[in-house]
Amino acid sequence: MPMLKHPRTGRPHLRTVSITGVGSYLPSRILTNQDLEKLIDTTDEWITSRTGIKERRIAAPHEATSDLAFAAAKQALHDAKISADQIDLIIVATITPDMLFPSTACLVQQKLGACRAAAFDIEAACSGFVYALDIAAHFVQSHTYDTVLVIGAEKMSSVVDWKDRNTCVLFGDGAGAAVLQNRPTAHGLLTTCLGADGTKATLLDMPGGGSACPASTESLGKGMHFLRMDGKETFKNAVNAMVSAATEALNRCGLTVGQIHCIIPHQANQRIISAVGERLGATEDQVFVNVAKYGNTSAASVAIALDEAVRTGRVRRGDLVLLVVFGAGLTWGAAIIEW
Ligand code: COA
């Protein structure tokens, strides 16, 4: 029998991977730019004009990343109309795990009671959700698993230095989740492409707490357990990498940017989002933006945005959706989904 080709990509037709449910969770506490004016030497005007961020969500002290992930996952399971015992695999993308081990995915598995599921974390910083989608899709395409729960979840407030105005204004907490399943339909994930450049690892990092620099009085004193960033260089690399990842994904599917109904870029900074949209030749209407409300929630960012876009009717059945991400590593990626 001849190998079936996918109608859009022209590639051998593996099992179609559909996103059958999405969900998200944002902690209830809102920290506005005006609140930050009282904590550090900054202004609403500076933060808004440089980043587009007006407010961000901050998890309660008792809420860990697995709690945010669990809340988003429950919504996604409800949306997919499946129960926890149907999940074969849980992948959590995060740079703020509850602890170094066990994985946050195992803690989420326990909270959900997903007793049949295998579970592991992946770490690709703000690109994590698209990396996890790619991994999950391969498991479904290859018949290894039928139902995979992918979560991007972060408690960024636990790793930012609240005295450093260069970074603390940028980040927020939250989680987004998606259920991936095989469905006998043409709709689904059309392509994913990933990239990384470890030569630029120091542009955005948190050096303390791992095997290279275990926690010690000295490492604490030097602030090595806080996120550090070269903002200007990160900005330039983000725009270039996101444009080329999006272009590669479009080319792989034989699509032009004009055919995409909704572009969901990583929500780090309005200026990065606008520059990427312009360089791709997209109209403002095509680009989904919610960075003003949540700031940069790292691996959760595009997952939260996708859920919001679906819930508000911004993404409808049959629409072509482009996710494009960038993060520490450096890492980047893009995914095209026929919804
Ligand atoms: N409030 C007021 N002033 C601030 C400030 C704040 N929150 N943060 C920094 N500044 C000051 C700086 O100290 C600097 O002052 P100086 O010139 O006296 O030294 C001045 O503002 C300009 O800083 P600069 O770094 O030139 O600003 P910028 O225009 O590059 O914007 C970022 C800074 C961080 C907003 C921008 O570089 C950026 O968005 N980078 C990408 C960050 C990102 O998205 N990272 C995650 C990727 S996944």
Alpha-carbon distances of 275 from 106, 136, 265, 271, 320, rounded to whole Å: 38, 30, 11, 6, 21
Measure the CA–CA gap between 113 and 82, rounded to whole angstroms: 13
pLDDT level of residue 15 (50, 70, 90 thresholds): confident
Tokens of 143: 């018949």
Checking if the pLDDT of 3 tops 50, the result is: no
Active site (annotated) includes residue 266: yes
**Percentage of residues in the chain with pLDDT exceeding 90?**
93
How remote is the CA of residue 231 from the centroid of ligand 1, in Å?
6
Ligand 1 and 62: CB distance under 6 A: no
Q: What average pLDDT does this structure show over 305-317?
A: 97
Active site (annotated) includes residue 143: no
Domain with CATH 3.40.47.10 in the chain: 18-185, 189-338
Which residue carries 């409800």 as its tokens?
78
Ligand 1 atom closest to residue 298's alpha carbon, by position in its atom list: 48
- If you ran DSSP here, which 8-state letter would residue 4 be given? P
Q: What average pLDDT does this structure show over 179-185?
A: 88
Alpha-carbon distances of 163 from 138, 237, 281, rounded to whole Å: 42, 26, 39
Ligand 1 and 20: CB distance under 6 A: no
Q: What is the pLDDT of residues 264-278, one digit of tens each?
A: 999 999 999 999 999
Give the per-residue pLDDT at 183: 84
| Maximum pairwise Cα distance, the chain | 69
How remote is the CA of residue 153 from the centroid of ligand 1, in Å?
25
Burial tier of 113 (Cβ tally within 10 Å: 0-12, 13-18, 19+): exposed
Give the per-residue pLDDT at 6: 60
Measure the CA–CA gap between 156 and 94, rounded to whole angstroms: 10
Helices and strands (H and E) in the chain: how many: 11, 13
pLDDT level of residue 16 (50, 70, 90 thresholds): confident
Q: What is the pLDDT of residues 96-134, one digit of tens each?
A: 999 999 999 999 999 999 999 999 999 999 999 999 999
Ligand 1 and 51: CB distance under 6 A: yes
Closest CA to 167 of 305, 293, 298: 298
Checking if the pLDDT of 167 tops 50, the result is: yes
Mutual orientation of helices 301-311 and 128-141 as an angle, nearest 10°? 70
Which of 51, 235, 291, 297 to mutate for ligand 1's pocket (most ligand atoms within 8 Å of CB)?
Answer: 235
Checking if the pLDDT of 157 tops 50, the result is: yes
Which of 40, 50, 203, 240 to mutate for ligand 1's pocket (most ligand atoms within 8 Å of CB)?
Answer: 50
Closest CA to 19 of 167, 94, 118, 130: 130
Task: For 179-197, give one letter per residue: b (16+ CB within 10 A) or e.
Answer: bbbbeeeebbbbbbbbbbe
Cα 65 off chain centre by? 14
Closest CA to 128 of 325, 290, 269: 325
214 CB-near residues (< 8 Å, 6+ apart):
none
How remote is the CA of residue 235 from the centroid of ligand 1, in Å?
10
Strand partners, 173: 155
Q: What average pLDDT does this structure show over 73-98?
A: 98
Ligand 1 atom closest to residue 232's alpha carbon, by position in its atom list: 37
Q: For atom 15 of ligand 1, which residue has the closest CA? A: 166
CATH class belonging to 189-338: alpha beta
Alpha-carbon distances of 225 from 94, 105, 219, 220, 321, rounded to whole Å: 16, 22, 7, 7, 36
Give the per-residue pLDDT at 146: 95
Give the per-residue pLDDT at 290: 98
Q: For atom 20 of ligand 1, which residue has the closest CA? A: 166
Residue 157 DSSP SS3: helix
Active site (annotated) includes residue 296: yes
**Percentage of residues in the chain with pLDDT exceeding 70?**
96
Do residues 50 and 44 make contact, with C-beta atoms less than 8 angstroms apart? Answer: no
- Architecture of the structural domain at 18-185: 3-Layer(aba) Sandwich (3.40)
Provide φ and ψ at 290, rounded to 5°: -135, 15
